[in-house]
Amino acid sequence: MTFDTHEIDSMLIRQLADGQFHSGQQLGEKFGLSRAAINNHIEKLAQLGLDIYRVTGRGYKLAAPIQLLDLDYFQSLLPAHFRDHQVILKHVTESTNDDVKQCLASARSLSAGTAVLAEMQTKGRGRRGKQWFSPFASNLYLSLYWPLPQGLNSAIGLSIVLGLAIAETLIGAGIQDVSLKWPNDVYIQRKKVSGILVELEGQAQGEGHAIIGIGLNLALPPESPIDQPFTAISEHLDSILAGKMLDGKTLDRNAWAAELYSRCLTFLAEHDAHGLKPFIERWRELDHFYQQPVKLILGQHEQTGIALGIDELGAFLLQQGDEVKRYFGGEISVRDITT
């Protein structure tokens, strides 16, 4: 049996995931390759950021074991009514959002909830095209498709709803001091742990499509190239309830992925049925800046006032003097006026 280069890379990763030594000869025999060819594949994996030791006479091993996403295990953890959804797992991809877009372009129709999970993104992005740091087998990178049969206007508030889905996933696991930053960030103890990118295709009055990207930090090295205070779930293990998405003392990445995916589908269906109204009060309870002085940055302009949460359309409410003004998404960001 012969394998293409991507299959060999994936099989090598699975073989090395246990953190034990594997000789080049054994790996070569297993995959029908020379030791030199195996070494070339190892070099390629190292370029992805995998910390691989090479020891003469012993072979190759990862610096530490890694837990890979496993599609069968992931799907077994889903509620029964979500198990028939198409979920694609990739070891390395440029962008899971782009993968969903490609699925949409190549299919006559795509089922709600069709999703792509990846171990690593080489061109992951957030709002306004900012890079989303996506190291291998460290975090969750999930994109899913959601149809908008009533047009793009029905996408109002999607990032609000998805932020709540992520926050409730964290809270349900026992993590404390979870908060939301309008319009699309999730915090733990005032540090960002997750972000959302919603991309829309279609027309305002015709059928539309939402491609939803979510990044959730499970474990990040301290030297990660992120330009704002950040945290990861692994820094809050003491808060996580016993048996809740832990494999011993290690985060169960598949369980986190299944819980996050399930929450998102449930909240999106609720939004389809009832709009944003059922979510507004809970969002206000978790609003990181509620009733605090803030500064809004809109391009080259700034507005200051008191944050008053969101309205039924997901607009940010800012009290300025005796007047409450509404601000919508796009280029708006919220910054604590004290920083």
Does residue 150 sit in helix, strand or coil? Answer: coil
Does 192 count as an annotated binding residue? yes
Does 126 count as an annotated binding residue? yes
Separation of alpha carbons 202 and 111, rounded Å: 16
Does 2 count as an annotated binding residue? no
Separation of alpha carbons 132 and 225, rounded Å: 10
Buried b (16+ CB within 10 A) or exposed e, 112-151: ebbbbbbbbbeebbbbeeeebbbbbbbbbbbbbbbbbeee
Does 97 count as an annotated binding residue? yes
Does 127 count as an annotated binding residue? yes
Break the chain down into helix, strand, coil percent, rounded to 5.
Answer: 35, 30, 35
Does 54 count as an annotated binding residue? no
Find, among 129, 166, 128, 170, the residue nearest to 144 by Cα. 166
Does 35 count as an annotated binding residue? no
Find, among 309, 311, 305, the residue nearest to 288 by Cα. 309
Tell me how many degrees the CA angle 77-276-105 measures, rounded to the nearest 5.
60
Separation of alpha carbons 198 and 149, rounded Å: 16
Find, among 83, 339, 125, the residue nearest to 211 by Cα. 125
Does 266 count as an annotated binding residue? no
160-to-126, 257, 311 alpha-carbon distances in Å = 16, 20, 11
The CB-side HSE value for 152 (13 A sphere, CA atoms) comes to 8
Specify the residue for token string 């089922």.
111
Helices (H), the chain: 5-16, 24-31, 35-47, 71-76, 96-106, 158-172, 253-274, 277-286
Active site amino acids: 127, 192, 335
Bind-site residues for biotin: 95-97, 121, 125-127, 192
Bind-site residues: 95-97, 121, 125-127, 192
